[in-house]
Amino acid sequence: MNIDKMVKSLMARPNSNKIGMIASHLGVVRGTSRDGKPVKAIEVWYEKEILDDIMQKIKSLPGIIDVIVEVKEGKLDVGDPILGVAVAGDFRENVFPALVSAVDQIKEKAAFKKELIR
């Protein structure tokens, strides 16, 4: 998972001349759970149809040119990347909310994980 490659891919699209901003998110496995327990690894998987639907909805938002999402599935260790999202659009007032919405929806609707506690 490489955010730089994701950005370069967006900039290579035919309509890249409309892009005024690209915002990205790179999620990594934390060493602690939300309630403070030590995590040694996680198991994560995604529902592809839901993920695709979320991406299409984000792409249809005003000012959004394109979206790239990369996910890692299976057993992941602390520090491993989990989720990469890059949103290209015209202005920050369109791009930032789209990025936040994409990440929130993916985590709430399409991602499933099990923390492996130490």
Summarize pLDDT for 19-61 with one digit per residue, the tens.
Answer: 999 999 999 999 999 999 999 999 999 999 999 999 999 999 9
Tell me which architecture the domain covering 3-117 has in CATH.
Alpha-Beta Complex (3.90)
What is the side-by-side order of every strand in the sheet holding 74-77?
74-77, 39-46, 111-117
Is the pTM value of this prediction over 0.75? yes
Nearest to 72 by CA among 60, 80, 63: 80
Domain spans in the chain, listed from the N-terminal domain onward: 3-117
